[in-house]
A and B are shown apart, each in its own frame.
Chain A
Amino acid sequence: MNINSLNNIQYQNRYYNKTSVRAAEPQTIQTKPNEVSFKGGFGDKVGKLFGEKYAQKMIDKPWMHKLSAKLASVSKLMTQHMATLGSFLTSAVYFYRTVTNKDLEPEKRNTLGINQIGCFIVPTGCAYGVDHGLRTFNKNMEYRYSGLKRQQMALGKLSPEKCAALEKSLGTKLKCFGALMGLATFTTIYRYATPVLITPIANKIGDWWNNRNAEKQVKTAELKPEQTRAAA
């Protein structure tokens, strides 16, 4: 009886390892030189142009280093802050254009204006809150992803080419993992959860506001003939 193979099966099932037999086979990973080949596609040419004319020059600016160091000392959530800044600018423009839009009926202006303000303030708070709450979960997922990938490499589940590519890019991927989770959280809250929640609330506030204005106008109209009569 082959005890060895029985044992293998037993432990493979128990410890989530299905390819231990393959794992024993030695793998030679041929690593490519640490350079990116540019085949001359349009996208690559664009990348090179902007890399040389924009990125390199900006990275070599002392003020960029000072600014980055300052920002890094404040917070590490740069992706989230940038998403917030972008959303703030967008909401500010939407608000301004909405409340000054003469083509819109005055009643709608109010409703939509309130919607714009709400659609920035509420999700910003929510997004940071949810992102903070998900931090441990995201970190655990990142570790899980990292471990699974390392196991795949070690057990020879990936082709040598994929292994070599992953070996080079795993660090970047891990950095991107947190940013992706943060971005997904912020975008979903900014662009979906809050607008959907805010729209009916803004509609109600807008209706209430418009009704109040209408009532005021009626009262003013009722008062005017009485005043004329009194003056006569």
Chain B
Amino acid sequence: MKIHTTQNLNSLGRMQSTNTANIPNEEIRLNYSEQMRKLKSSSLNDTYESHVSFKGKKEFLKAAQAAAEKIKNTAGKEKKNYDKFLTSGVFDKMLDLMSHEVFVQAAISAVICCLLRPVTIMALPAKDKDNNKYASAHSISSGFVGVISSLLISVPFSKGVKYAQKNLLHKLKEEHIKKMFPQVDIKSIANADGTRKPIGEWLDKFGNKFAADTKDVMMAAKPRPIQVVSESTLKELGADVDLKAMAGKPVSEWVTRDGKKLNFRPQDMFVQIKEEGMGTNYFSLGLADKNFLAETFEKLDINTIEKEGKRINPLEWKNKDGSQFMPDLLDNVFVSSWKETFEATPLYSGLKRTETRGKKETKYCAYQKNTKDYDAKKVPDKLGTKISQEMLDADDTNTVLYKLLGWLPDIVTRPVVAASTIALIPFVLKRVFHLEKKKKPEQVIAEQNNQVNTAKDKDEAVRKAAA
């Protein structure tokens, strides 16, 4: 298929960009990060948006056709044998148990120390087999003591931490709530009389329902080129197409069974955009940031993409010269459906954050699943709360805090537990390996002397009795 190019891909760089549509003169010199900061600083917390930035040359990839070919060639290779294990209830239970990290460690250790290790050690060659027996006894007793001690010492504490995480966070001091959850609207946490509301009623600074979770973000099924998705998927997305009848035609020429042109929700239409330093990612044309789109599509008239504050069908978008924006857009559009793949991709708008720790990489911001009508089955109409770097840093700190509280009792009692393990070794040696502790030479001599003396005493007693 011939790919038509309507964009000059070589001139999309920020430094070369002459796109000043919508941007007041005073802000021409500012980059988008500064514009965004300026725009939002009036309504948001001081540092909340401080890491949002736009930089790097952006390139729209007309990759749908190539991706379709690739998918056709690799069809069926997605499935792996271990998928069943990953989705099994056993694995879920293991993950649930991880709120008791110390116990999980002890349980893994117990299996290893009481079974695997002794068997392997005893099978090893050694001059003095007693050494192996001693090492095995040590292993068994450490596994046994470890699991018992974790049950008695660590599990109650980790249960307490889990309980506090779920039920007591709303009772914390205000200063700590602010630190732990920088996105929270602190006014929303208490009633008029000062009593604390349950966490479920809290709001964040964006007016969304407060969500502490920054890990389970808004995701979509990895978008696939329209060329390869099934009829049922297309129907679900609002396009009832007879694929056999459309075979060989470019997607931009496809029509539905009733002869209408394809019409998707803007949110369901994804494009691939490659940005310098950021790699290639999928962006929904209904959810991508306006300025990000303006930077990517230089010819696009950004004023034409919305009506009454709502994103309209991208096929109705206009270029600055009044012509249709990318007539072949549908040939390069990807759609997202869980029917097509289990691979997931976070929903990005193009806004970025820069890590404050480690390699200080710049990454796209993900979004929380806290909008009112969020439905995991489809691409949402609206993005949730943007997960800022400040939120992620706070979340990292919270994770460390909870882990410290869970591990602290174990760490404090480790020396005692280790001493108990050693105390148990002679018992294991005797019971499992039938190996008694060897007596010292002095003890043996003393015992022998005792025996001799006792025998002499007995002889004398017998002699006296006879006399």
Q: Report the separation of the CA atoms of residues A86 and B92 in the bound assembly, to the nearest whole angstrom.
A: 26
Known contacts A177-B95, A180-B95; is-contact A68 B126 (Cβ 8 Å): no
Report how far A62 CA is from B172 CA in the complex, Å.
11
- With A78-B404, A203-B127 as known contacts, state yes or no: A183 contacts B105, CB within 8 Å: yes
- A78-B399, A105-B438, A199-B124 known; A11-B215 Cβ under 8 A: no
Which of the residues A20, A48, A51 comes within 8 Å of B339, measured between beta carbons? A20
**A143 near B76: Cβ-Cβ < 8 Å:** no
Does any Cβ of A come within 8 Å of B407's Cβ? yes
A93 touches B414 (CB 8 A): yes
Out of A56, A147, A153, which one reaches B164, CB within 8 Å?
Answer: A56
Q: Among the listed stretches B27-35, B56-64, B111-119, which one makes contact with chain A, having 4 or more residues with CB under 8 Å of it?
A: B111-119
Q: Is there a chain A Cβ closer than 8 Å to B363's Cβ?
A: no
Contact present for B419 and A7 (CB under 8 Å): no
With CB as the reference atom, state the residue of chain B lying closest to A50. B160
Report B418-429 CB contacts with A as 1/0, cut-off 8 Å: 110110000000
B393 contacts A by Cβ under 8 Å: yes
Given contacts A17-B339, A51-B167, A147-B344, contact A46 B399 (CB under 8 A): no
Known pairs A148-B87, A195-B121; A68 contacts B157 (CB<8 A): no
Contact of B104 among A97, A171, A183 (CB under 8 A): A183
Q: Is the CB of B156 within 8 A of A175?
A: no
Q: Is A127 interfacial (CB-CB < 8 Å)?
A: no
Q: Which chain A residues lie closer than 8 Å to B372 at the CB level?
A: none
- Min distance, Cβ A150 to any Cβ of chain B, angstroms: 6
Question: A38-70: which residues lie under 8 A (CB-CB) from chain B?
Answer: 43, 46-56, 58-60, 62, 64-65, 67-69
Tell me whether A192 and B116 are in contact (CB under 8 A).
yes
A59 near B176 with CB under 8 A, answer yes
| B399 touching A72, Cβ below 8 Å | yes
Number of A-B contacts (CB under 8 A): 319
Provide the residues of chain A in CB contact with B104, threshold 8 Å.
180, 183
CB proximity of B34 to chain A, nearest CB, Å: 27
Which residue of A has the minimal Cβ distance to B85? A145
Determine whether A138 belongs to the interface, using a CB cutoff of 8 Å to chain B: no
Specify which chain A residues have a CB less than 8 angstroms from the CB of B229 in the assembled complex.
Answer: 11
Asked if residues B160 and A68 are in contact (CB atoms below 8 Å), the reply is: no
Tally B residues with Cβ within 8 Å of A.
111
Q: A78-B403, A147-B342, A175-B215 are in contact. Are A47 and B393 (CB under 8 A)?
A: no
A76 touches B396 (CB 8 A): yes
**Nearest-neighbor residue (CB-CB) of A195 within chain B:** B117
Residues from chain A with Cβ under 8 Å of B116 in the complex: 192
Residue from A64, A76, A184 in contact with B401 in the complex, judged by beta carbons closer than 8 Å: A64
Cα–Cα, bound, A196→B236 (Å):
57
A196 x B171 contact (CB < 8 A):
no
Which chain B residues lie closer than 8 Å to A196 at the CB level?
117, 120-121, 124
> A132 at interface (Cβ–Cβ under 8 A)?
no
Determine the chain A residues whose CB is within 8 A of the CB of B92 once the complex forms.
173
Which chain A residues border B393 with CB–CB below 8 Å?
Answer: 72
Residue B248 at the chain A interface, CB threshold 8 Å: no
Q: Are B159 and A50 in contact (CB under 8 A)?
A: yes
Chain B CB within 8 A of A24 CB = yes
**What residue of chain A has the Cβ atom nearest to residue B199's Cβ?**
A34
Q: How many residues of A contact B (CB 8 A)?
A: 105
Chain B residues in 8 Å Cβ range of A76: 358, 396, 399
A206 within 8 A of B: yes
Docked pose: A13 CA to B339 CA in angstroms: 11
How long is the Cα–Cα vector from A50 to B408 in the complex, in angstroms? 13
Distance from A37 Cβ to chain B, minimum over Cβ atoms (Å): 10
Q: Name the interface residues of A96-126: CB closer than 8 Å to any CB of B.
A: 97-98, 101, 103, 105, 108, 111-112, 115
Chain B hits for A173, CB < 8 A: 92, 95-96
Measured between alpha carbons, how far is A69 from B417 in the docked complex, in Å? 29
Is the CB–CB distance between B131 and A108 below 8 Å?
yes
Which residue of chain A has the shortest Cβ distance to B217 in the bound complex? A171
* Cβ–Cβ contact B338 & A200, under 8 A: no
> How far does the Cβ of B105 sit from chain A's closest Cβ, in whole Å?
5
Point out the residues of chain A lying under 8 angstroms from B403, CB to CB.
78-79, 82
Known: A196-B117, A203-B127. Is A83-B157 also a contact (CB below 8 A)? Answer: no
Interface residue ranges of A5-31 to B (CB < 8 Å): 7-8, 10-17, 20, 23-24, 27
Residues of B within 8 A of A7 (CB): 230-232, 243
Cβ distance A226 to chain B, nearest Cβ, rounded Å: 27
Complex: chain A residue closest to B171, CB-CB: A56
Say whether, besides A11-B230, A82-B403, A115 and B76 are in contact (CB < 8 Å): no
A148: B residues at CB distance < 8 A: 83, 86-87, 342
Q: Does B219 contact A (CB under 8 A)?
A: yes
Q: In the bound complex, how far is the Cα of B164 from the Cα of A48, in angstroms? A: 8
In whole Å, how far is A11's beta carbon from the nearest beta carbon of chain B? 4
A214 beta carbon closer than 8 Å to chain B: no
Task: Tell yes or no: B200 within 8 A of A by CB.
Answer: yes
Q: Say how far A136's CB is from chain B's closest CB, in angstroms.
A: 15
- Taking a contact as CB atoms under 8 Å apart, the answer to whether B168 and A56 are in contact is yes
B residues sitting closer than 8 Å to A (CB atoms) are: 75-76, 78-80, 83, 86-87, 91-92, 94-96, 98-99, 101, 104-105, 108-109, 112-113, 116-117, 120-121, 124-128, 130-132, 134-135, 138-139, 142-143, 156-157, 159-169, 171-173, 176, 179-180, 198-200, 213-216, 219, 221-222, 229-233, 236, 242-244, 338-344, 357-358, 376-377, 393, 396-401, 403-405, 407, 410-411, 414-415, 417-419, 421-422, 437-438
Q: List 19 A-B contacts (CB under 8 A).
A: A11-B340, A16-B78, A47-B156, A51-B159, A51-B161, A65-B180, A73-B357, A78-B400, A78-B403, A86-B407, A93-B418, A97-B418, A147-B221, A150-B342, A151-B338, A180-B104, A187-B109, A191-B108, A196-B120
A55-B165, A155-B338, A199-B131 provided; 12 other pairs, C-beta below 8 A? Answer: A43-B159, A56-B168, A65-B397, A82-B411, A89-B411, A93-B415, A94-B422, A147-B221, A150-B344, A169-B96, A175-B399, A207-B127
